[in-house]
Amino acid sequence: MPDTSAATRGVRIGIDTGGTFTDVVAVEQGSGRIVTTKTPSTPADPSIGFLDGVRKVLDILGASGDDVTGVSHGTTVATNALLEDAVERVGLITTEGYRHILEIARQSVPDGYGNSYFWVKPDRIVPVDLVREVGGRLDHTGAEVRPFDEAGAVEVARWFRERGIDTLGVCLLHSYANDDHERRLRDILAAEHPDAVVSLSSEVLREYREYERTVTTLVDASVKPKVTRYVRNIAARLDEATGGRDSRAPRARGDVPFYVMKSNGGVISADEVVHQPITTVLSGPAAGALGAALVAGEAGYDKLLTCDGGGTSTDVSVVLGGEPTLTTEGSVGRFPSKIPMIDIVTVGAGGGSIAWISPEGTLKVGPRSAGADPGPICYGKGGAEPTVTDAHVFLGRIPPHLLGGEIPLDRDAARDGIESLAGKLGLSPEDAARGILEISAWNQANAIRQVTVKRGLDVRDFTMAAFGGSGPLLVCRLIDILGLPATIVPRDPGNLSAFGLLTVDVKNDYVQTHVVRDDVLDRDELAAVYAALQARAADALDREGFGRDVHRHVRTADLRYDGQAFEVRVPAPDGPIDESFQRAVVDTFHDEHERLYGYAYRPDPTASGGEHRHRHPVEWVNLRVTGVGPIPRPSLPRLDAGDGDPSRARTGTRPVVFDGGAVETAVYDRDRLLAGDEIAGPAIVEEFGSTVPVHPGFVARVDDLANLVVTSEGVR
């Protein structure tokens, strides 16, 4: 494990940079004390908000930069670049004869073939005039069919250099099976075009399917310059905060471990992330899902929906057995990505989502957002269009300030914006504001259905964890819309993603395509591939500073029935790769296939002979190893038991609009609530980073982890 002995108090910090706020959590490892705070994000230069957050949380702790033992960071730099199409100009080098791989793509049509007549393939990430071919050919086993054309590669390198194309993706046919040609091409590029930033498909995604591997490699290349600049800038800022003149005993700069959250639910060091930036495309949302999984698991919930509501968007995911579900079929914006990532659906329904009127005269909400600057009208920073936050302020559901009074809100300005919109719609201001929140709630509900109903899961079987600054505001409506049994709102919900950053391990994923039918599987070959993958994982953990005695390696495999186009990933148990290992993996595949698709071709125990016994042959496709380097997790503090009477936490009342007119509603300070307290709606529960409106007909109960468990009345 990385050495952190230089620090005196052992402070670990998690920082999640969002579109509106930068969330910060720090844990003092000796005492276990956890503190949280927020600071406004600085979109023009996110590193400023990052550094403000570090200094602010250290001031709260009374600590200095010399006490910091590690920082974990969730960032949306790669995500936003892809969502906004703000990617670098990139060139593609591919095998001779495959210049049009991006046009060929896949035949799959969004929303089914009924819409195929109207569907136009999305714009390619690299225009065809920036694609160059190199001679040489491997077959699917990695055997060389034609030698690599080194002279042609030199010409291609010079062609890109002369045109100033400094970002390049390299994807040669079948390089997943043999990377010799790609590595030789990289050497030539280094010699002929030394300024080029290069991504090799054999390093980004060592997996077959040429189109997906090509696009994934190009996405990696396109965000690499931006992510590299950002991470190095943040690292320099962190240097200032932890090794500068303000420290009591300044130490050598650069010795504080700095990790960046990955899409797969792990973290990676800043030094390593610049070599694989695509792994961060869901950095921030992944941290929230991990934090919610830990908190809910401690509270006894193993089937969970996560609803992470921020200022710009809401991210939802599914947790089963304490672990968020993973996918390799994800996408960001219009770009498919085959890297392992937590299965997250994002919808433009956050606190800053703008309410607007369509050309048909109907009310719409989002996906356009006011962001942090200028922000909602009530921020008083020049925002002119009403947002979800303005509707909450107008209805009295959030207080006239944010962050415990640090950011005052202008309720009169919010009212003026809502009234202007209401006049155009011919509605009362109250109905217009409620309509904004209703549409936002349904947008969130539809995103939740995408990760449940569309995947064969019954949403009513799940408890939901609502967090983020805006996530808890609509929990009662979501319970009604989705038929949820309960929703939990963790302690400090606005900072749960930052807390999640402190709960995850270093993880590196490695994959190798190895297509073979199960009935002719060579287990020695299988063992050799797994051993090679494990060696790569171990080398990466060595570079991260973890001793071999703490390394952990998790094996999985992608299997399918012969003739199928896509695979199912299943665990591959530890231990020797023998007959029992093979049978365990295949049996698990049958079970998982039946769970996902409703049927399985299990062997017929009454039949004899291989082909008859295997009713339909099983095929192994990809082998995977994840290297895990453990990082200490903070313990969740327990809450003292109360007497069930929450009146000690009551701070007053204010008029709030729920279903009808305004009603005088009790307001509670969440920090004063104790385990066992119950609050019946209508009520408002406030804390530093978020607010929970408890509607009439609902009850919020406090458990011993300080979670608010919100249910309909009569449900326990």
Residue 68 neighbours by CB distance under 10 Å: 28
Are 418 and 386 a contacting pair, CB within 8 Å?
yes
- What sign does the CA torsion over 156, 161, 163, 169 have? positive
Per-residue pLDDT at 479:
97
Of residues 294 and 239, the one with the higher pLDDT is: 294
Per-residue pLDDT at 245:
36
Are 26 and 61 a contacting pair, CB within 8 Å?
yes
> CA 655, CA 658: separation in Å to the nearest integer?
10
Helix (H, G, I), strand (E, B) or coil at 320: strand
Determine the angle formed by the axes of helices 388-395 and 411-425, rounding to 10 degrees. 110
> CA 250, CA 583: separation in Å to the nearest integer?
57
One-letter amino acid of 675: A
Per-residue pLDDT at 612:
43
- Taking Cα atoms as reference points, which of 345, 343, 335, 529 lies closest to residue 446? 345
- Taking Cα atoms as reference points, which of 302, 307, 242 lies closest to residue 58? 242
Stretch 157-176: mean pLDDT = 95
Per-residue pLDDT at 515:
94
Among the ranges given (320-334, 589-603, 606-620), the one the predictor scored with the smallest mean pLDDT: 606-620
Distances (CA, A) of 150 to 138, 139, 177, 185: 15, 19, 20, 8
Residue recorded with tokens 């079970």: 591
DSSP readout, 528-556? Answer: HHHHHHHHHHHHHHHHTT--GGG-EEEEE
Are 238 and 256 a contacting pair, CB within 8 Å?
yes
Per DSSP, what are the bridge partners of residue 506? 267, 629
Q: Is residue 301 over pLDDT 60?
A: yes
One-letter amino acid of 438: E
- Taking Cα atoms as reference points, which of 353, 291, 328, 404 lies closest to residue 16? 291
| Helix and strand totals (H; E) in the chain | 17, 37
- Most confident stretch, 51-60, 143-152, 267-276: 143-152
> CA 710, CA 699: separation in Å to the nearest integer?
6
Are 78 and 120 a contacting pair, CB within 8 Å?
no
One-letter amino acid of 280: T
Residues 609-665: tens digit of each pLDDT: 544 455 689 999 999 999 999 988 888 888 888 888 899 999 999 999 998 889 999
Element (H, E) at 325: none
Determine the angle formed by the axes of helices 429-451 and 411-425, rounding to 10 degrees. 90
Q: Is residue 351 over pLDDT 50?
A: yes
Per-residue pLDDT at 110:
56
Map out the domains of the chain with their CATH numbers: 11-81+226-280 (3.30.420.40), 283-504+647-716 (no CATH), 506-629 (no CATH)
Per-residue pLDDT at 276:
83
- Strand order of the sheet with strand 662-669? 650-657, 662-669, 683-686, 691-694
Q: How confident is the model at residue 5 (pLDDT cuts 50, 70, 90)?
A: very low
Determine the angle formed by the axes of helices 150-162 and 180-192, rounding to 10 degrees. 40
Residues 281-299: tens digit of each pLDDT: 888 788 889 999 999 999 9
Per-residue pLDDT at 684:
97
Distances (CA, A) of 198 to 3, 212, 275, 537: 32, 18, 10, 22
Strand duo 131-134 + 91-95: pairing: parallel
> CA 704, CA 710: separation in Å to the nearest integer?
14
Q: How confident is the model at residue 464 (pLDDT cuts 50, 70, 90)?
A: very high
Class of residue 302 by CB neighbours under 10 A (exposed 0-12, middle 13-18, buried 19+): middle
Residue 367 neighbours by CB distance under 10 Å: 16
Stretch 213-234: mean pLDDT = 89
Write the CB contacts of 660 (distance below 8 Å, at least 6 apart in sequence): none
Write the CB contacts of 560 (distance below 8 Å, at least 6 apart in sequence): 566, 567, 568, 618, 619, 621
Residues 107-140: tens digit of each pLDDT: 665 555 454 455 566 677 888 999 999 999 999 9
Residue 23 neighbours by CB distance under 10 Å: 32
Residues 674-715: tens digit of each pLDDT: 999 999 989 999 998 889 999 999 999 999 999 999 999 877
Strand duo 698-702 + 708-712: pairing: antiparallel
Of residues 327 and 426, the one with the higher pLDDT is: 426
Among the ranges given (153-157, 371-375, 607-611), the one the predictor scored with the smallest mean pLDDT: 607-611
Of residues 165 and 249, the one with the higher pLDDT is: 165
> CA 590, CA 565: separation in Å to the nearest integer?
16
Q: Given 3-state DSSP classes, what are the helix, strand and coil percentages for the chain, each rounded to the nearest 5?
A: 35, 25, 35
Residues in the chain: 716
Per-residue pLDDT at 455:
81
Please state, rounded to an integer, the average pLDDT across all residues of the chain.
87
One-letter amino acid of 550: V
Q: Is residue 4 over pLDDT 50?
A: no
Per-residue pLDDT at 121:
65
* Percent of the chain at pLDDT exceeding 70: 91
Element (H, E) at 103: helix 101-104
Per-residue pLDDT at 248:
35
Are 354 and 365 a contacting pair, CB within 8 Å?
yes
